[in-house]
């Protein structure tokens, strides 16, 4: 060891640190994030021309659909022809469960995931190594949008397992070079301890869990802004309101970034807000987006609200053409203040499956959340119960805020009347409101289950 001086050791450490920094740079390339509109559109067309025949040739169910619709891949000669291609629907996953949509031989598949099955049978999805790499790169973009770097400590509170949230947010954080705390979902007390002890600077979880964390932090005696260092939050996997965002941001002093995706389209990572918080950048080099009229299937003009239909542009193991997401939104193609030119999805109002039809009137749970969350006398937890007794009935159970619960003289009857009035003015239908004690409604560490529709058998 005589020749190995302290100086040599310092040089080795320096070289290692340069290699690590370079590795992060190589692993995470910003180029695709910053493509210009024309470049994205050109790339989309090039990739569509490849993926259409690839899907047709390799997935029997897709070929069958083309044949039934009397369409051949070569019929798509220009982008306008793309509307001729048959849709893929959620039912196609059920019909091909579990491996029927695989476009490669089984030995090329390195991972599977399955959706939580919020709306019926679970959907199984598959990835080649290249698919996992592409997905990871998209997840890294989400962190980049949220301002998270290799200096950050990311506490990932999404569920690990078949659900795509856990591993998706985990791999993305590693690719950006951050230090990941794979805390997984649940055990709220421990989550808070980890956040404090490790000095977590970014958190990833469902927005409903983040709202619950606000409450839990206070109950556990923390002063969130002082005790924690969290500056960024990546929240997604379910719809959430602007009021919920304000609550989370104000409690922790963080910037709350909305992230959108679904298992069928890799998982989370389809789109994310940037620091401007003005629509979610949907990565046009990997996804081709359309909006359609959900009743007729007709393609809408750009910017009009409708059902999002997504085509995956480079997926190997499971190419998906014109997937009907059932999510309602609109897509705008304008350069964002951050310089990114990818199309933006405006905040998802909810999925058409979640829309309640109460006596013929369309009601989105997010509209109800909007009213409840802007009433300071109420807590954050609520449940929507729909029944039918001659007519459809909408009933909302909501917790009162702890300080109101402690005040014996507070006029709860007046509060009920006020909330019922506010709901009537937003929804145009009468709702009955029931106040319950704090801490009595179920909390969830994943996607919140807010609706109990007793009309469905
Ligand atoms: P499942 O369909 O079984 O719930 P996923 O976990 O893949 O399985 O959920 C994807 C769905 O979650 C999307 O189609 C959408 O309805 C909802 N979702 C995901 N992210 C968001 C978001 N940021 N805002 C609103 N809804 C979202
Ligand atoms: Zn932006």
The answer on pLDDT for 49 being more than 90 is: yes
Return the pLDDT at 29.
Answer: 72
Rounded to an integer, the average pLDDT of 14-38 is 72
Instruction: Note whether residue 19 is domain-resident.
Output: no
Average pLDDT, the chain: 93
Instruction: Tell whether the torsion through CA atoms of 379, 383, 387 and 391 is positive or negative.
Output: positive
CA angle 265, 266, 268 (to 5 degrees): 90
Instruction: Note whether residue 261 is domain-resident.
Output: yes
Q: How far is the CA of 223 from the centre of ligand 1 (A)?
A: 31
Using a CB cutoff of 5 Å, list residues around ligand 2, an ion.
274, 276, 336, 338, 340
Rounded to an integer, the average pLDDT of 187-210 is 97
Which of 313, 335, 351 is the last residue before a domain boundary? 351
The answer on pLDDT for 453 being more than 70 is: yes
Task: Indicate whether residue 260 lines ligand 1 (CB < 6 A).
Answer: yes
Question: What is the tens place of the pLDDT at every residue in 366-415?
Answer: 899 999 999 999 999 999 999 999 999 999 999 999 999 999 999 999 99
Please tell me the residue having the least CA distance from ligand 1 atom 9: 262
Query: Are 223 and 347 found together in one domain?
Result: yes
Label residue 4 by pLDDT band (50, 70, 90).
Answer: low
Instruction: Note whether residue 400 is domain-resident.
Output: yes
Task: Indicate whether residue 115 lines ligand 1 (CB < 6 A).
Answer: yes
Are 251 and 224 spatial neighbours (Cβ–Cβ below 8 Å)?
yes
Please tell me the residue having the least CA distance from ligand 1 atom 5: 262
Task: Indicate whether residue 405 lines ligand 1 (CB < 6 A).
Answer: no
Residue whose pair of structure tokens reads 């985990």 in the numeric block: 170
Q: How far is the CA of 215 from the centre of ligand 2 (A)?
A: 30
Question: What is the tens place of the pLDDT at every residue in 267-323?
Answer: 999 999 999 999 999 999 999 999 999 999 999 999 999 999 999 999 999 999 999
Which of 320, 351, 382 is the last residue before a domain boundary? 351
Query: Are 326 and 439 found together in one domain?
Result: no
Segments forming the whole domain that contains residue 277: 125-351
Q: Which of 348, 364, 449 to mutate to test the pocket of ligand 1 (most atoms within 8 A of CB)?
A: 348
Query: Are 396 and 421 found together in one domain?
Result: yes
Task: Indicate whether residue 273 lines ligand 1 (CB < 6 A).
Answer: no
Q: How far from each other are the two terminal CA atoms of the chain, in whole angstroms?
A: 77
Task: Indicate whether residue 237 lines ligand 1 (CB < 6 A).
Answer: yes
What is the C-alpha to C-alpha distance for residues 320 and 363, in angstroms, rounded to an integer? Answer: 30
Whether the model pTM is above 0.75? yes
Rounded to an integer, the average pLDDT of 14-40 is 74
What phi-psi label fits residue 140: left (phi over 0), alpha (psi between -120 and 50 degrees) or beta? alpha
Following DSSP, what letter does each residue of 41-105 receive, concatenated? HHHHHHHHHHHHHHHHHH-HHHHHHHHHTT--GGG--SGGGGGGSPPB-HHHHHHTTTTTT--S-
**Domains contained in the chain, number:** 2
Query: Are 380 and 276 found together in one domain?
Result: no
Instruction: Note whether residue 59 is domain-resident.
Output: no
Question: Phi and psi of 347, rounded to 5°?
Answer: -30, 130
Query: Are 203 and 287 found together in one domain?
Result: yes
Return the pLDDT at 177.
Answer: 96
Nearest ligand, measured from the Cα of 261: 1
Instruction: Note whether residue 432 is domain-resident.
Output: yes
Are 324 and 87 spatial neighbours (Cβ–Cβ below 8 Å)?
yes
Label residue 355 by pLDDT band (50, 70, 90).
Answer: confident
Task: Indicate whether residue 47 lines ligand 1 (CB < 6 A).
Answer: no
Q: How far is the CA of 369 from the centre of ligand 1 (A)?
A: 17
Q: Which of 239, 265, 277, 294 to mutate to test the pocket of ligand 1 (most atoms within 8 A of CB)?
A: 239
- What is the number of the ligand 1 atom nearest to the C-alpha of 122? 3
Task: Indicate whether residue 369 lines ligand 1 (CB < 6 A).
Answer: no
Which of 351, 386, 404 is the last residue before a domain boundary? 351
Return the pLDDT at 13.
Answer: 67
The answer on pLDDT for 118 being more than 70 is: no
The answer on pLDDT for 117 being more than 70 is: no
Percent of the chain with pLDDT over 90: 87
Are 178 and 149 spatial neighbours (Cβ–Cβ below 8 Å)?
yes
The CATH number of the domain holding residue 262 is 3.40.50.12780
Tell me which of 249 and 367 has the higher pLDDT.
249
Instruction: Note whether residue 149 is domain-resident.
Output: yes
Return the pLDDT at 1.
Answer: 46
CA distances from 344 to 168, 334, 371 (A): 21, 8, 26
Return the pLDDT at 11.
Answer: 72
The CATH number of the domain holding residue 415 is 3.30.300.30
Query: Are 297 and 344 found together in one domain?
Result: yes
Query: Where is average pLDDT lowest: 81-90, 152-161, 417-426, 442-451?
Result: 442-451
Return the pLDDT at 349.
Answer: 73
What is the C-alpha to C-alpha distance for residues 354 and 449, in angstroms, rounded to an integer? Answer: 11
Q: How far is the CA of 75 from the centre of ligand 1 (A)?
A: 33
The answer on pLDDT for 26 being more than 70 is: no
Instruction: Note whether residue 250 is domain-resident.
Output: yes
Rounded to an integer, the average pLDDT of 215-236 is 97
Query: Are 302 and 402 found together in one domain?
Result: no
């Amino acid at each position: 060891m005589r020749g190995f001086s302290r100086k040599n050791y310092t040089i080795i450490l320096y070289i290692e640190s340069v290699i690590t920094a370079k590795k992060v740079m190589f692993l995470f390339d910003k180029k695709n994030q910053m493509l210009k509109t024309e470049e994205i559109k050109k790339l989309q067309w090039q990739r569509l021309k490849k993926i259409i025949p690839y899907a047709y040739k390799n997935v029997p169910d897709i070929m069958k659909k083309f044949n039934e619709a009397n369409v051949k891949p070569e019929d798509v000669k220009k982008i306008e022809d793309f509307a001729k291609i048959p849709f893929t629907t959620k039912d196609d996953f059920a019909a091909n469960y579990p491996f029927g949509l695989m476009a490669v031989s089984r030995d090329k598949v390195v991972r599977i995931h399955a959706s939580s099955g919020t709306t019926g049978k679970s959907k199984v999805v598959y990835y080649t190594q290249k698919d996992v790499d592409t997905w990871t790169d998209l997840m890294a973009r989400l962190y980049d949008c949220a301002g998270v770097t290799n200096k950050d400590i990311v506490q990932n509170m999404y569920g690990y397992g078949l659900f795509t949230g856990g591993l998706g947010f985990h791999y993305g954080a590693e690719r950006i070079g951050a230090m990941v705390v794979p805390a997984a979902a649940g055990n709220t007390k421990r989550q808070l301890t980890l956040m404090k002890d490790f000095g977590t600077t970014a958190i990833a979880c469902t927005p409903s869990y983040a709202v619950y964390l606000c409450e839990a932090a206070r109950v556990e005696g923390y002063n969130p802004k002082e005790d924690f260092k969290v500056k960024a939050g990546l929240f997604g996997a379910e719809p959430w309101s602007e009021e919920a965002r304000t609550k989370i941001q104000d409690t922790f002093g963080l910037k709350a970034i909305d992230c959108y995706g679904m298992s069928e389209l890799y998982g989370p990572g389809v789109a994310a807000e940037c620091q401007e918080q003005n629509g979610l950048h949907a990565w046009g080099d990997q996804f081709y987006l359309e909006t359609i009229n959900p009743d007729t299937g007709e393609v809408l003009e750009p910017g009009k609200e409708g059902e999002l239909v997504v085509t995956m542009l480079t997926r190997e193991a499971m190419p998906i053409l014109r997937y009907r997401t059932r999510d309602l939104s609109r897509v705008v193609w304008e350069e964002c203040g951050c310089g990114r030119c990818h199309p933006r999805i405006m905040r998802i109002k909810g999925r058409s499956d979640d829309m309640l039809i109460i006596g013929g009137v369309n009601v989105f749970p997010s509209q109800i959340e909007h009213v409840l969350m802007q009433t300071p006398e109420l807590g954050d937890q609520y449940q929507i119960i729909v029944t039918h007794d001659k007519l459809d009935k909408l009933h909302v159970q909501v917790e009162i805020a702890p300080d109101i619960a402690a005040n014996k003289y507070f006029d709860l009857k007046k509060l009920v009347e006020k909330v019922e009035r506010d709901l009537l003015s937003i929804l145009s239908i009468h709702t009955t409101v029931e106040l319950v004690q704090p801490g009595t409604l179920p909390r969830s560490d994943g996607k919140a289950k807010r609706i109990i529709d007793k009309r469905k058998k």
